[in-house]
Amino acid sequence: MPAREFLLVDPATLHLPGSRRHGADPEMLGRQVARHGTSVAGMPPLEVKRGSDGELIIYDGVTRASRVAKYIPGTLVPVEATGPRGVGGKHAVGRREDMTDQERTRADLLAALDELTRCRPDWRLGQTLANLAMTARRLDAGGVWDLEDAEALTAARELLAQAATESCPA
Protein backbone atom coordinates (compact mmCIF):
# COMPACT_ATOMS: atom_id res chain seq x y z
CA MET A 1 0.00 0.00 0.00
CA PRO A 2 1.48 3.37 -0.99
CA ALA A 3 2.44 5.80 1.77
CA ARG A 4 -0.15 8.47 2.52
CA GLU A 5 0.92 12.07 2.90
CA PHE A 6 -1.28 14.93 4.08
CA LEU A 7 -0.51 18.36 2.61
CA LEU A 8 -2.03 21.84 2.32
CA VAL A 9 -2.02 23.00 -1.30
CA ASP A 10 -3.52 25.64 -3.56
CA PRO A 11 -6.01 23.64 -5.67
CA ALA A 12 -5.13 25.75 -8.72
CA THR A 13 -1.78 23.93 -8.77
CA LEU A 14 -3.37 20.47 -8.91
CA HIS A 15 -3.77 18.57 -12.17
CA LEU A 16 -6.95 17.05 -13.51
CA PRO A 17 -7.20 13.36 -14.32
CA GLY A 18 -7.52 12.50 -18.00
CA SER A 19 -11.15 11.52 -17.50
CA ARG A 20 -11.98 15.01 -16.19
CA ARG A 21 -9.65 17.15 -18.32
CA HIS A 22 -12.46 19.65 -18.92
CA GLY A 23 -12.82 20.25 -15.18
CA ALA A 24 -15.78 20.16 -12.87
CA ASP A 25 -19.27 19.31 -14.04
CA PRO A 26 -21.03 22.72 -14.22
CA GLU A 27 -24.20 21.46 -12.51
CA MET A 28 -22.27 19.87 -9.64
CA LEU A 29 -20.17 23.02 -9.30
CA GLY A 30 -23.32 25.16 -9.18
CA ARG A 31 -24.80 22.98 -6.44
CA GLN A 32 -21.60 23.18 -4.40
CA VAL A 33 -21.38 26.95 -4.77
CA ALA A 34 -25.03 27.26 -3.69
CA ARG A 35 -24.49 24.96 -0.70
CA HIS A 36 -21.01 26.01 0.48
CA GLY A 37 -20.30 29.38 -1.17
CA THR A 38 -16.79 30.50 -0.34
CA SER A 39 -16.41 28.31 2.74
CA VAL A 40 -14.00 25.41 3.09
CA ALA A 41 -15.13 24.62 6.64
CA GLY A 42 -15.67 20.90 7.03
CA MET A 43 -14.48 20.10 3.51
CA PRO A 44 -12.90 16.63 3.45
CA PRO A 45 -9.37 16.34 2.05
CA LEU A 46 -9.06 15.99 -1.70
CA GLU A 47 -7.62 12.66 -2.73
CA VAL A 48 -4.64 13.06 -5.04
CA LYS A 49 -1.98 10.79 -6.49
CA ARG A 50 1.57 11.74 -7.30
CA GLY A 51 2.37 11.58 -10.98
CA SER A 52 5.62 10.17 -12.29
CA ASP A 53 7.17 13.64 -12.31
CA GLY A 54 5.85 14.55 -8.85
CA GLU A 55 2.79 16.60 -9.86
CA LEU A 56 -0.38 16.05 -7.85
CA ILE A 57 -3.30 14.65 -9.84
CA ILE A 58 -6.81 14.75 -8.39
CA TYR A 59 -8.29 11.31 -7.84
CA ASP A 60 -11.39 12.46 -5.94
CA GLY A 61 -12.52 16.05 -5.47
CA VAL A 62 -12.35 17.80 -8.87
CA THR A 63 -15.50 19.81 -8.17
CA ARG A 64 -14.37 20.86 -4.68
CA ALA A 65 -10.94 21.84 -6.02
CA SER A 66 -12.51 23.82 -8.88
CA ARG A 67 -14.87 25.69 -6.53
CA VAL A 68 -12.06 26.77 -4.25
CA ALA A 69 -9.68 27.65 -7.10
CA LYS A 70 -12.28 29.72 -8.94
CA TYR A 71 -14.15 31.42 -6.13
CA ILE A 72 -11.56 31.75 -3.37
CA PRO A 73 -8.23 31.76 -5.22
CA GLY A 74 -5.10 31.32 -3.14
CA THR A 75 -6.90 29.37 -0.41
CA LEU A 76 -5.01 26.28 0.70
CA VAL A 77 -6.96 23.04 1.07
CA PRO A 78 -6.03 19.71 2.65
CA VAL A 79 -5.12 16.87 0.33
CA GLU A 80 -4.29 13.25 0.97
CA ALA A 81 -1.55 12.24 -1.45
CA THR A 82 -0.63 8.72 -2.43
CA GLY A 83 1.54 7.79 -5.30
CA PRO A 84 2.61 7.17 -7.86
CA ARG A 85 -0.17 7.12 -10.43
CA GLY A 86 1.01 5.91 -13.81
CA VAL A 87 -0.46 8.43 -16.24
CA GLY A 88 -1.11 11.97 -15.15
CA GLY A 89 -3.15 14.79 -16.53
CA LYS A 90 -1.49 18.04 -17.46
CA HIS A 91 -4.47 20.36 -17.15
CA ALA A 92 -4.38 22.50 -14.01
CA VAL A 93 -7.61 23.05 -12.10
CA GLY A 94 -8.30 26.71 -11.64
CA ARG A 95 -5.73 28.94 -13.15
CA ARG A 96 -7.28 32.38 -13.38
CA GLU A 97 -6.03 32.78 -16.94
CA ASP A 98 -8.06 29.70 -17.91
CA MET A 99 -11.28 31.17 -16.54
CA THR A 100 -13.79 32.74 -18.88
CA ASP A 101 -14.56 36.44 -18.48
CA GLN A 102 -17.89 35.50 -16.89
CA GLU A 103 -16.17 33.20 -14.37
CA ARG A 104 -13.61 35.90 -13.50
CA THR A 105 -16.37 38.48 -13.06
CA ARG A 106 -18.36 36.12 -10.84
CA ALA A 107 -15.29 35.27 -8.74
CA ASP A 108 -14.53 38.98 -8.33
CA LEU A 109 -18.18 39.67 -7.46
CA LEU A 110 -18.23 36.96 -4.79
CA ALA A 111 -15.01 38.34 -3.30
CA ALA A 112 -16.48 41.87 -3.34
CA LEU A 113 -19.69 40.61 -1.67
CA ASP A 114 -17.60 38.90 1.00
CA GLU A 115 -15.75 42.16 1.67
CA LEU A 116 -19.00 44.14 1.60
CA THR A 117 -20.60 41.87 4.22
CA ARG A 118 -17.63 42.54 6.50
CA CYS A 119 -17.99 46.30 5.94
CA ARG A 120 -21.76 46.26 6.38
CA PRO A 121 -22.48 43.44 8.87
CA ASP A 122 -25.85 45.00 9.70
CA TRP A 123 -27.11 44.45 6.12
CA ARG A 124 -29.00 41.21 5.55
CA LEU A 125 -28.27 39.44 2.26
CA GLY A 126 -31.52 40.63 0.70
CA GLN A 127 -30.71 44.20 1.69
CA THR A 128 -27.23 43.87 0.22
CA LEU A 129 -28.62 42.62 -3.09
CA ALA A 130 -31.24 45.38 -3.16
CA ASN A 131 -28.53 47.97 -2.42
CA LEU A 132 -26.43 46.58 -5.27
CA ALA A 133 -29.39 46.87 -7.64
CA MET A 134 -30.18 50.43 -6.54
CA THR A 135 -26.53 51.48 -6.80
CA ALA A 136 -26.52 50.03 -10.34
CA ARG A 137 -29.59 52.23 -11.09
CA ARG A 138 -31.89 49.20 -11.33
CA LEU A 139 -34.78 50.82 -9.51
CA ASP A 140 -37.69 48.81 -10.96
CA ALA A 141 -39.34 45.90 -9.15
CA GLY A 142 -37.23 43.35 -11.07
CA GLY A 143 -33.97 45.21 -10.50
CA VAL A 144 -32.24 42.45 -8.56
CA TRP A 145 -33.48 39.79 -10.97
CA ASP A 146 -32.21 41.65 -14.05
CA LEU A 147 -28.89 42.71 -12.53
CA GLU A 148 -25.94 41.41 -14.56
CA ASP A 149 -22.83 40.20 -12.71
CA ALA A 150 -20.66 42.96 -14.20
CA GLU A 151 -23.17 45.62 -13.10
CA ALA A 152 -23.33 44.11 -9.63
CA LEU A 153 -19.52 44.06 -9.42
CA THR A 154 -19.32 47.74 -10.38
CA ALA A 155 -22.01 48.57 -7.81
CA ALA A 156 -20.26 46.50 -5.11
CA ARG A 157 -17.01 48.34 -5.77
CA GLU A 158 -18.85 51.66 -5.54
CA LEU A 159 -20.41 50.67 -2.20
CA LEU A 160 -17.00 49.50 -0.94
CA ALA A 161 -15.45 52.83 -1.94
CA GLN A 162 -18.20 54.62 0.01
CA ALA A 163 -17.61 52.35 3.00
CA ALA A 164 -13.86 53.05 2.86
CA THR A 165 -14.52 56.75 3.39
CA GLU A 166 -16.46 55.78 6.53
CA SER A 167 -13.56 53.72 7.96
CA CYS A 168 -14.79 50.26 7.04
CA PRO A 169 -13.24 47.65 9.37
CA ALA A 170 -12.51 45.20 6.51
Q: Taking residues 154-158, what's their average pLDDT?
A: 93
Does the structural domain 5-97 have CATH classification 3.90.1530? Answer: yes
Rounded distance between C-alpha atoms, residue 45 and residue 47, angstroms: 6
Q: In this predicted structure, what is the pLDDT of residue 75?
A: 92
* Cα separation, 141 vs 122, whole angstroms: 23
Q: What is the mean pLDDT of residues 73-82?
A: 91
Cβ pair 170, 119 in contact under 8 A = yes
pTM of the model: 0.51
CB atoms within 10 A of CB 96: 13
CB atoms within 10 A of CB 4: 10
State percent of the chain over pLDDT 90.
32
Residue 8: the pLDDT is: 93
